[in-house]
Amino acid sequence: MNTDKYFASRRTIRKYDTTRDIHASAIMEMLEDAAHAPNTGNMQIYSVIITKDEDGKKALAPAHFNQPAVMNASAVLTFCIDLNRFSHWCRINDTTPGFNNLQGFTWGVIDASIFAQQFCTIAEMNGMGTCYLGTTTYNAEPIAKALELPEGVIPVITVTVGYPAENPEISDRLPIEAIAHLEKYHLADSAEIKNIYAEKEALPSSKQFITENSKDNLAQVYAEVRYPSEANEKFSQVYREFLKNQGIQI
Amino acid sequence: MNTDKYFASRRTIRKYDTTRDIHASAIMEMLEDAAHAPNTGNMQIYSVIITKDEDGKKALAPAHFNQPAVMNASAVLTFCIDLNRFSHWCRINDTTPGFNNLQGFTWGVIDASIFAQQFCTIAEMNGMGTCYLGTTTYNAEPIAKALELPEGVIPVITVTVGYPAENPEISDRLPIEAIAHLEKYHLADSAEIKNIYAEKEALPSSKQFITENSKDNLAQVYAEVRYPSEANEKFSQVYREFLKNQGIQI
């Protein structure tokens, strides 16, 4: 594959060169290209809000648990499901779309994700660095407030972008044979599962996580410290309520 | 942007050259590169099932409403949320993940989408053509049966891939200014909405859709013919039930 070089060696960039700005017009250009990525029925039920302003970043930072990348980045991009624009178009055309349900939500998440990823690929191929913030679905409401999102607009993904000020190692991945199944799903047994995760568990960073968090193993760090059940349940309820207030009943 | 050429001119390919196969090993290689795309917490809670077998494609075809791309493609790729592998790993490490909720579902959809899109970009950059089938969230259950998906594995996206046997026009997109908002969401008024959709409405293909479906305008074609409320509501319920049966309660 002649594209190997970039794709297999890409890495997430969390520290940006604050002396190098990316102009809003360059971001718009990249988004314009990214919007050529596929989307459900070519309805484009998504929007993105570009935050470049210092005050705008400050307003978003707490919703992202003050991750330094937010203030540090040239821009913060919040990718949203957008049923508002499409519904408005339907309204002035004497019809009503029925997308305020689980199908509409799922299409919106898929389309916003594809759009966001295409943007990241374009930015990275042009020498910039990007980072997805996993906090958007936790704190959708304060994000919506800060960005003045109307009914039907749901934050799904946040990406920070800037020129890299770090050169991190390539992040580990599970063996592709564990992820990609030929013809039928292969249900791994416990011995296979151990093998699949062996390399990840052996990383120095994994051992450090375990020690720092006083756990017995890496799985416990994930399930009990980084993504504890109670938090996931709580944030699920918060997100569901927010969706309802924005007019989507999943 | 030096990546302009590809990204802004990409198009969906639905007809494939059936004399040119893509070997399973080449697909695995591309997937391996694609898996370097970002994912939530590097947990990789996704899987992909590659269908190359004639019988396998035949089993999937009805679930995709017999779209010709399924039988025609070199391979059909079903991208899934996969909580099964991660849960199994947690189980043998004396812990239990709490991802069987809306947060886990949303992360899974985001991660499966990013992975799928990265695969599509790699395939397209290597001269292949891809097509997303929007039918996966409608018919998740028969797809799961055909692919023998266990508990915790949810089909989200299907991509067909093959060498192109057509060279379609670049598909239209809304003006980027309607999609990308600087600093705050700009709520368009009805005059602006009309402008945003004017070019799309003026396309010969749009006019053809309206005539063929005996509707007054394009919005009605979308809201009443292609994505009618009743179907969206019905398929939302079917998907929700399927998720519940697979162990995810959104």
**Cβ contacts (< 8 Å) between B145 and chain A: which residues?**
none
A180, β-bridge pairs: B48
Q: Which amino acid is at B65?
A: F
CB contact under 8 A, A197 and B38: no
Is residue A52 a contact partner of residue A121, using CB atoms and an 8 Å limit? Answer: no
**Band of residue A53 on the pLDDT scale cut at 50, 70, 90:** very high
Q: How far are the Cα atoms of A10, A194, B68 from residue B120, in angstroms, in the given order?
A: 16, 30, 19
Q: Tell me, yes or no, if the pTM score tops 0.80.
A: yes
**Band of residue A4 on the pLDDT scale cut at 50, 70, 90:** low
Percentage with pLDDT > 90 across chain A: 98
CB contact under 8 A, B35 and A176: yes
pLDDT in tens, B147-195: 999 999 999 999 999 999 999 999 999 999 999 999 999 999 999 999 9
**Band of residue B5 on the pLDDT scale cut at 50, 70, 90:** confident
Is residue A163 a contact partner of residue A17, using CB atoms and an 8 Å limit? Answer: yes
Mean pLDDT of chain A: 97
Q: Which of B103, B138, B170 is opposite residue A232, by nearest beta carbon?
A: B103
- Chain A to chain B, count of Cβ pairs less than 8 Å apart? 360
ipTM of the complex: 0.98
Element (H, E) at A37: none
Judged against a pLDDT cut of 90, whether residue B96 lies above it is answered with: yes
CB contact under 8 A, A4 and B157: no
pLDDT in tens, A89-116: 999 999 999 999 999 999 999 999 999 9
B75, β-bridge pairs: B161
Q: How far are the Cα atoms of A118, A226, A241, B97, B101 from residue A238, in angstroms, in the given order?
A: 29, 18, 5, 19, 12
| Alpha carbons A8 and A99: distance in angstroms, whole number | 37
Is residue A106 a contact partner of residue A100, using CB atoms and an 8 Å limit? Answer: no
pLDDT value, residue B4: 60
Q: Nearest-CA distance from B93 to chain A in Å? A: 6
Q: Which amino acid is at A95?
A: T
A15 DSSP assignment? -
pLDDT value, residue A5: 82
A226 DSSP assignment? I
**Band of residue A47 on the pLDDT scale cut at 50, 70, 90:** very high
Judged against a pLDDT cut of 90, whether residue A228 lies above it is answered with: yes
Task: Find tokens 């019809």 and name the residue.
Answer: A95
**Band of residue B1 on the pLDDT scale cut at 50, 70, 90:** very low
pLDDT in tens, A143-186: 999 999 999 999 999 999 999 999 999 999 999 999 999 999 99
Judged against a pLDDT cut of 70, whether residue B22 lies above it is answered with: yes
- Of B42, B45, B36, nearest to B118 by C-alpha is B36
| Alpha carbons B230 and B217: distance in angstroms, whole number | 20
Six-digit token pair at B14? 């639905």
Angle between helices A229-245 and A140-147 (to 10 degrees): 40
Six-digit token pair at A119? 């943007």
B49, β-bridge pairs: A181, B78
Judged against a pLDDT cut of 70, whether residue A202 lies above it is answered with: yes
Q: Which of B36, B117, B240 is opposite residue A118, by nearest beta carbon?
A: B117
| Alpha carbons A52 and B77: distance in angstroms, whole number | 38
Lowest-confidence region among A184-188, B3-7, B81-85: B3-7
Chain A residue closest in CA terms to B46: A179
| Alpha carbons A101 and B209: distance in angstroms, whole number | 25
Is residue B134 a contact partner of residue A41, using CB atoms and an 8 Å limit? Answer: yes
CB contact under 8 A, B47 and A174: no
CB contact under 8 A, B7 and A92: no
SS (H, E, C) chain B: CCCHHHHCCCCCCCCECCCCCCCHHHHHHHHHHHCCCCCHHHCCCEEEEEECCHHHHHHHHHHHCCCCHHHHCCEEEEEEEECHHHHHHHHCCCCCCCCCCHHHHHHHHHHHHHHHHHHHHHHHHCCCEEEEECCCCCCHHHHHHHHCCCCCEEEEEEEEEECECCCCCCCCCCCHHHHEEECCCCCCCHHHHHHHHHHHHHCHHHHHHHHHCCCCCHHHHHHHHHCCHHHHHHHHHHHHHHHHHCCCCC
Judged against a pLDDT cut of 90, whether residue B95 lies above it is answered with: yes
Q: Which of A147, A185, A237 is opposite residue B185, by nearest beta carbon?
A: A147
- Of A135, A141, A110, nearest to A46 by C-alpha is A110
**Band of residue B2 on the pLDDT scale cut at 50, 70, 90:** low
Cβ-based neighbour number of residue B93 at 10 Å: 21
pLDDT value, residue A1: 46
B78, β-bridge pairs: B49, B158
Chain B residue closest in CA terms to A42: B173
Mean pLDDT of A35-42: 98
